[in-house]
């Protein structure tokens, strides 16, 4: 009878380790999915939109920098990206 209790305790310990191992794996997968989603939304998507908008503005502008800027800003706004002007640094 004592042998059965030991085996039962060993099995319960194995089940607990298995459960915690799966829970940890689930948390790791969840963290990777959230991290990947954030990377896509804040890094990859805006970079691709800027690339597409720049190509579209070059096609439409015909070497006029004013038209290029207007088309580029409009395209960024349609893709949901705010245009931030970089301030010139004084030497």
Q: What is the pLDDT of residues 35-83, one digit of tens each?
A: 999 999 999 999 999 999 999 999 999 889 899 999 999 999 999 998 8
Task: Identify the burial level of 53 via C-beta atoms within 10 angstroms of its C-beta, where 0-12 means exposed, 13-18 middle and 19 or more buried.
Answer: buried
Query: HSE-up of 7 (CA within 13 Å, CB side)?
Result: 4
Q: What is the pLDDT of residue 10?
A: 57
Q: What is the pLDDT of residue 13?
A: 64
Model-level pTM greater than 0.85? Answer: no
Inter-residue contact 31 to 16 (CB < 8 Å): no
Which residue did the predictor score with more confidence, 44 or 10?
44
Q: For the chain, which residues make up each domain, given as ranges?
A: 2-78
What is the rounded CA–CA span in Å between residue 86 and residue 14? 59
Compute φ and ψ for 29, nearest 5 degrees.
Answer: -65, -45
Q: What is the pLDDT of residue 66?
A: 92
């Amino acid at each position: 009878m004592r042998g059965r209790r030991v085996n039962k305790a060993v099995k319960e310990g194995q089940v607990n380790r298995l459960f915690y191992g799966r829970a940890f794996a689930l948390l790791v997968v969840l963290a990777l999915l959230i991290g990947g989603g954030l990377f896509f939304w804040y890094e990859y998507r805006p970079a691709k939109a800027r690339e597409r908008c720049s190509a579209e503005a070059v096609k439409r502008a015909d070497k006029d920098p004013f038209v290029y800027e207007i088309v580029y800003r409009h395209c960024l706004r349609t893709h949901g990206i705010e245009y931030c002007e970089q301030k010139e640094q004084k030497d």
